[in-house]
Structure 1
Amino acid sequence: MSSPTHCGTQDESAGEHPPTAGSTNLWDWRTAERELRFTSVKLKARNMADTLIFIFSLLDCCFLIFLAVYFVIAFSDLECDFLNVTACCSRLNKWVLPELVAHTGVTVFMLITMHWLVFLLNVPLAAWNLCKYFSIPSGNVGLYDPTEIHNRGKLKFCMKEAMAKLGYHLLLFFIYLYSMIFAMVSD
């Protein structure tokens, strides 16, 4: 509370009460109130948009975790000779492009929405996937070729790569989960 002045009234400059109609600061006060409401609405909309962005990213990450587990299981079955090489490679090649689109899509989406840290975390794997996809030799049936999968330890490398992708997507899953919860709570 402000202290009374020499004539017994309270000081209006303390900002305790909104200005009255006769005051010179009425327009400034109303403008500031409108700007504050507009800023508040913008922040709530931004938080809602961030929440939806990270929900979508979580669902996409779940799909990518499923694919990584599927690749690990397929490579281990191929290593133990439970699967035919041709059948295994054709099954895995069906999922290479959806994996590429899903991960690159989230990476571009994070760039567009200006989530820089998450974008920078997604770029290395997206670049790796794009590089591998566009460097497939012209004679191969796909990324995983039945005639080359057993050459020079390529099967072991593919297994290690699938395990690394699984760990990477699990890390991103928890980052997306934290970001989603943070966006929901910060209202």
Structure 2
Amino acid sequence: MMSFGSFVYIACLLLNGANMLLQIFCVIMFSDLEMDYINPIDLCNKLNDLVMPEIISHTLVTLLLLLGKKWLLFLANLPLLVFHANQVIHKTHILDATEIFRQLGRHKRDNFIKVTFYLIMFFTLLYCMVMSLIQEE
């Protein structure tokens, strides 16, 4: 029988992997906008549909780590959770097609930082999951 700690690591790993792929997709879309392969309205329509699922899944990851008493990983995820909360409170999480070119550099930078964060967390969670499953045996 799998322990709750192993379940937390597996669930967080899957959600974190999905968020990482989502951010890679966003970086590709912003690059397409820079190269003029996609127009700003289509970009905003596609990416705005993906913003809240990313925020919700990252919130779920953070809550699972808190409930699983994985304090160090919880604290590592807390700054991004605060960043997401700040975006939602100030309504800057939604992309505006009329302003996207002025804010493109900031959005690309934020997404590269998120990809890096999710990549580091992915391998950290993978290591923790493997160690947790080995210790159960």
> Given the two structures, how large is their TM-score scaled by the length of structure 1?
0.70
Unaligned runs of 5+ in 1: 1-44
CA distance in structure 1 between the aligned counterparts of 2:32 and 2:84, rounded to whole angstroms: 23
Runs of 4 or more above 4 Å deviation = none
Deviation at 1:179, TM superposition (A): 0.7
CA distance in structure 2 between the aligned counterparts of 1:96 and 1:180, rounded to whole angstroms: 27
Structure 2 letter corresponding to 1:178: Y
Query: What does 1:1-20 correspond to in 2, within 5 Å?
Result: none
Q: Given the alignment, which residue of 61, 76, 82 partners 2:16?
A: 61
Structure 1 letter corresponding to 2:98: T
Q: Given the alignment, which residue of 16, 25, 29 partners 1:70?
A: 25
Q: Given the alignment, which residue of 97, 104, 112 partners 1:146?
A: 97
Q: Given the alignment, which residue of 99, 103, 126 partners 2:54?
A: 99
Deviation at 1:143, TM superposition (A): 1.3
CA distance in structure 2 between the aligned counterparts of 1:66 and 1:162, rounded to whole angstroms: 11
Q: Contact 2:12–2:64 at 8 Å: present in 1 too?
A: no
CA distance in structure 2 between the aligned counterparts of 1:130 and 1:70, rounded to whole angstroms: 22
Identity across matched positions, percent: 32
User: 1 or 2, which has the higher helix percentage?
Assistant: 2
- Aligned pair count reads 136
2:76 counterpart residue number: 121
Post-superposition Cα deviations, 1:87-146, rounded to whole Å, max 9, x if no partner, equal: 101110000000000001110111122110010000001110111122117xxxx61100
Query: What does 1:26-45 correspond to in 2, within 5 Å?
Result: none
User: Aligned-pair RMSD on alpha carbons?
Assistant: 1.4
> Given the two structures, how large is their TM-score scaled by the length of structure 2?
0.94
SS for the counterpart of 2:100 is coil
Based on CA coordinates, which of the two structures has the bigger radius of gyration? 1
CA distance in structure 1 between the aligned counterparts of 2:125 and 2:65, rounded to whole angstroms: 11
Bigger relative CO (Cα 8 Å, ≥ 6 apart): 2
Deviation at 1:61, TM superposition (A): 0.9
SS for the counterpart of 2:62 is helix
1:155 matched to 2:121: no
Deviation at 1:176, TM superposition (A): 0.4
CA distance in structure 2 between the aligned counterparts of 1:121 and 1:180, rounded to whole angstroms: 16
